[in-house]
Amino acid sequence: MSEAVSRYRFALPLGAFLLLLIVLIAGLYHAPEKGIIASPLLGKAAPQFSLPGLLEPMPVQSSMLRGHWTLVNVWGTWCGQCREEHQTLLQIKQEGRVPIYGIDWKDDDDQARAWLSQLGNPYERIGADREGRVAIDWGVYGAPESFLVDPSGTIVYKHVGAMTPEVWQHEFLARVP
């Protein structure tokens, strides 16, 4: 009897672990909002900030986001997905429906200017967040992240990852009257 018990003493914990793993995987697979990181800032005023301008000497300030719908895009030249989304941002600028304000996050100013010179500049204005403090205030987990801000300065949507034409149409423009 003790030989049988010792042979199967790991069977029950292993079985319980496998069952738990199956339940967790099934829950993640069927979750309606998988991949979405809810922001505690949704429905709240955009954080106050003032950053040095990347391309011009005037600072970029949160007050510039009021009075119109705005797309705020957090990016960096070190970010691979930022390069992937760049063409979409240029198309959004060309549409002219919503201005894009950039927050260049923890980046080298010269590299950022060279990037924009080479790939084109989709931004109305760009603030240089060299130490990353403003991005922290916005609740940024990693670049790229984009926020839709309404005319009152309230954040109405956050997207984590590269902007695509589909995301722009279905998640951002769908919220803009």
Q: What pLDDT is stored for residue 1 in this prediction?
A: 53
Query: Which tens digits make up the pLDDT trace of 124-134?
Result: 999 999 999 99
Q: Inform me whether the pLDDT recorded for 63 exceeds 80.
A: yes
Farthest CA pair distance, the chain: 82
What's the rounded mean pLDDT across residues 64-92?
A: 97
Fold that domain 50-175 belongs to in CATH:
Glutaredoxin (3.40.30)
Domain boundaries, the chain: 1-34, 50-175
Whole-number pLDDT of residue 39: 74
Burial 25-49 (b: 16+ CB within 10 A, else e): eeeeeeeeeeeeeebebeeeebeeb
Which residues partner with 70 through β-bridges? 149
103 vs 25 pLDDT, higher one: 103
As a whole number of angstroms, the distance between CA 139 and CA 119 comes to 27
pTM metric for this prediction: 0.80
pLDDT at 87 over 80: yes
